[in-house]
Amino acid sequence: MNELVFVGLGLNDEQGISVKGLEEIKNADSVFMENYTSLMPNFNLQRFEALCGRKVQMLERHNLEDEGGKTILQAAKIGKAVFLVPGDPFIATTHVTLRIDAEKQDIQTRIVHGTSIMSAIVSLSGLHNYKFGKTVTVPFPENWSPTPYNVIAQNKQAGLHTLCLLDLKASENQFLSINNALKILLDAEEKNKKNAVTSDTVTLGVARAGSDSPTLKADFVKGLVSFDFGQPPYSLIFPGDLHFMEVEALIAFAGAPAAFRGLSR
Binding interface with a copy of itself (CB under 8 A): 8, 10-20, 22-23, 51, 88-93, 96-97, 99-100, 103-104, 110-111, 113-116, 118-120, 122-124, 126, 128-137, 154, 158, 160, 210, 212, 245, 248-249, 252-253
Q: How far is the CB of 151 from a copy of itself (least distance, A)?
A: 9
Q: Is 199 helix (H, G, I), strand (E, B) or coil?
A: coil
| Chain CA centroid to CA 112, Å | 18
> In angstroms, rounded to a whole number, what is the distance separating the alpha carbons of residues 153 and 160?
10
Compare residues 107 and 221 and give the one whose CB is closer to a copy of itself.
107
Compare residues 110 and 169 and give the one whose CB is closer to a copy of itself.
110
Which amino acid is present at 5? V
Q: How far is the CB of 208 from a copy of itself (least distance, A)?
A: 12
Q: How far is the CB of 181 from a copy of itself (least distance, A)?
A: 16
Q: How far is the CB of 136 from a copy of itself (least distance, A)?
A: 7
Compare residues 58 and 158 and give the one whose CB is closer to a copy of itself.
158
| Chain CA centroid to CA 195, Å | 27
Paired residues of 82 in beta bridges? 5, 31
Q: How far is the CB of 24 from a copy of itself (least distance, A)?
A: 10
Compare residues 138 and 221 and give the one whose CB is closer to a copy of itself.
138
Contact present, 107 and 77 (Cβ < 8 Å): yes
Instruction: Count CB neighbours of 252 within 10 A.
Output: 10
Closest among 16, 21, 8 to 41, alpha carbons compared: 16
Q: How far is the CB of 255 from a copy of itself (least distance, A)?
A: 11
Contact present, 58 and 34 (Cβ < 8 Å): yes
Compare residues 7 and 221 and give the one whose CB is closer to a copy of itself.
7
Q: How far is the CB of 162 from a copy of itself (least distance, A)?
A: 11
Strands (E), 178-214: 202-207
Compare residues 76 and 221 and give the one whose CB is closer to a copy of itself.
76
Compare residues 184 and 247 and give the one whose CB is closer to a copy of itself.
247
Helix axes 70-77, 96-104, angle to 10 degrees: 40
Helix axes 117-125, 244-254, angle to 10 degrees: 100
| Chain CA centroid to CA 65, Å | 20
